[in-house]
Amino acid sequence: MTLIIHKFGGTSVKDAERIAAVAEILTQVEHRPVVVVSAMSGVTNQLIAGARAAAEGRDTVYREIKAGLLTRHLGAVDALLTQSRERLEVGGFVEDRLHELERLYRSIAVLGEVTVRGLDAVSSFGEQLSSHILAAALRERDARAEAISATEAIVTDDTFGAARPLMAATRTRLLARVKPLVERGVIPVITGYIGATETGVTTTFGRGGSDFTAAIVAAGLDADEMWIWSDVDGILTADPNIVPQARTLPELSYSEAADLAYYGADVLHPKTVVPVVAAGIPLRLRNSFNPQHPGTLVVQAPHADRERLPAIISTNGLTLVAVGSRDDTWNLALTARALQCLSAASVDVPMFSQSFSEHMLNLVLHEQDQAHALKVLQAEFDRARIDNFTFGVKEKVATVSIVGAPGWNTKGIVSHAFAALGELGTRVIAVAQAATEHNVSFCIPEDQMADTVRFLHRDLGLGGE
Ligand code: ASP
Ligand code: MG
């Protein structure tokens, strides 16, 4: 019988209502499902914020985070589960785990710092909670389901924060721990994002890593397909919240999808592609809010006659930090140093550009990382005894990337885009362009993002008014 790995992201399990919808989808499929689930949306961010607060001795902050997580998860348990035994068991599990989290926070507070290893331990709690709640919601619907912690099934190296799976060992464990459940008609609900070293220490694959987990499970179990469920109808030509006329790209190759992911299409994590590509497993991107829609199919060799369209990818909630030197001493080594220390501190840098004439590095960061990033950079420069650098912060920026489909438009997407932005009067703060003429990214003021995306969508002939 067909085996399909289903991955549900944070928005698909963000509250009781959405978890119920997911359980509904899973009880209606006509194949054997294996589930990989993310933490409820926003939970991983909160867990990490709590760890940072603990390290800085801000006790009330981490206590409030823990209390908020308790209320939110117990709320979902209460709303979803009617049988008192399940409510007690799952509710008790939630309380135990969050008690453990508080203990971890307290030890971080005592140490006054959090290691990458500690951060992984803290970050792993979200998926532990969501997987148990979803499994119980399935049992509530008379399906047989069991929550499984990936620390039992996925073996990784000890690169905390960005672990790599050890595939042979993982496969053995998946076959021993997960396969027999599937054969008995039980739906395994596996935690995304996390794994454990051979000696059992919790690791994570890095932010957004649940897709990668699903791909590892798909490859390890020789699945027929892997479906990634989110809150949009697959990969679209633009964000449908901005452009209601945005169209779904029906079929893409693995490498086209990876390109889009690289530019920030958050429907797919770049690393995801690796295990499924190697195994040639088809991937489907679907909408848990609109399960009737077929979504986007991603395969090794798409049909030659499929429709090819470019896509506009926009991201807001960003901030621009310009790092430079007061004289002309800013150089590539300093850029490398800055990027390296941010990467080591798990700060995601969605885009950067380097300007030598102005002696600076423009870093586009997520708003919530700004304070932390500045602190990390400051510490790094202090350590290197570089004291003539400057920081400039420009809050509320967005990035807009246009990723072309080769052969779609011979005029070249890049010049087209520049002309359009000029016509609209969008202020371009920074540009990053691929060596190919197909892709280009702009950093622009956040309040101009929606208009810019709509304008480009129409201007590129993709529709809209
Ligand atoms: N919960 C993790 C995160 O927010 C992993 C994921 O959602 O894929 O990064
Ligand atoms: Mg997520």
Cα 208 to middle of ligand 2, angstroms:
5
- What's the confidence (pLDDT) of residue 3? 98
Residues with CB under 6 A from ligand 1: 9-10, 38-39, 44, 126, 192-193, 207-210
pLDDT at position 203: 98
Mean pLDDT for 139-166 is: 97
Q: Is the pLDDT of residue 136 over 70?
A: yes
Give yes or no for residue 232 having a pLDDT over 70: yes
41 Cα–ligand 2 center, Å: 6
Judged by its nearest atom, the ligand closest to the C-alpha of residue 228 is: 1
- Give the whole-angstrom CA distance, residue 56 versus residue 109: 7
- Look at the pTM and tell me if it is higher than 0.85: no
CA dist., res. 102 & res. 122, Å (int): 10
What is the identity of the amino acid at 310?
Answer: P
Per residue in 200-231, pLDDT (tens digit) is 999 999 998 999 999 999 999 999 999 999 88
Please, which pLDDT band fits residue 271 given cuts at 50, 70 and 90?
A: low
Return the CATH number of the domain spanning residue range 3-299.
3.40.1160.10
Ligand nearest, relative to CA of residue 126: 1
Atom from ligand 1 closest to the CA of residue 127: 1
Q: How far is CA 94 from CA 69, 88, 409, in A?
A: 9, 10, 53
The conformation of residue 356, written as its DSSP 8-state character, comes to T
Q: Residue 100's pLDDT band (boundaries 50, 70, 90)?
A: very high
Please enumerate, as own/partner, the contacts of 68-73 that have beta carbons within 8 Å and a separation of 24 or more. Answer: 69/43, 69/98, 69/101, 69/125, 69/129, 70/94, 70/95, 70/98, 72/40, 72/43, 73/40, 73/98, 73/129, 73/133
CA distance 60 to 65: 9
Q: Which run of H or E residues covers position 104?
A: helix 84-111
Nearest Cα residue to atom 2 of ligand 1: 208
Torsion, Cα of 464, 364, 123, 25 (10° steps): 10
Residue carrying the six token digits 């009067």: 425
How many other CB atoms are found less than 10 A from the CB of residue 144?
12
* Predicted pLDDT of residue 419: 87
| CA proximity to 119, closest of 204, 15, 221, 200 | 204
Q: Looking at residues 149-176, what average pLDDT do you find?
A: 97
Distances (CA, A) of 303 to 19, 299, 379, 406: 35, 9, 52, 15
CB 77 within 8 A of CB 90: yes
% the chain with pLDDT above 90: 75
Integer Cα distance of 408 and 321 in angstroms: 35
Whole-angstrom distance, CA of residue 171 vs CA of residue 159: 20
- Report pLDDT for 43: 98
Whether pLDDT at 27 is above 70 = yes
pLDDT for the residue numbered 267:
62
Pairing of strands 251-253, 296-299: parallel
- CATH superfamily of this structure's domain 308-465: VC0802-like (3.30.2130.10)
* Residue range(s) in the chain whose domain bears CATH number 3.40.1160.10: 3-299
Cα of 43 vs centre of ligand 2, distance in Å, is 9
Helices (H), 313-358: 332-344
What is the distance between the alpha carbons of residues 197 and 164, in angstroms, rounded to a whole number?
Answer: 10
Quote the tokens at residue 405. 């489909």
Check if the beta carbon of residue 202 is closer than 8 Å to that of residue 151. Answer: yes
Distance from the alpha carbon of residue 228 to the mean position of ligand 1, in angstroms: 13
- CATH 3.30.2130.10-classified regions of the chain: 308-465
pLDDT at 37 over 60: yes
**Confidence band, pLDDT 50/70/90 cuts, at residue 268:** confident
In this predicted model, what pLDDT tens digit does every residue of 322-375 receive, in sequence order? 998 888 778 888 899 999 999 999 898 988 888 767 778 999 999 999 999 999
Q: Which ligand is nearest to the CA of 47?
A: 1
Tell me the C-alpha distance between 363 and 319, whole Å.
8
What mean pLDDT, rounded, does the chain reach? 92
Tens digit of pLDDT for each residue in 403-413? 887 666 656 77
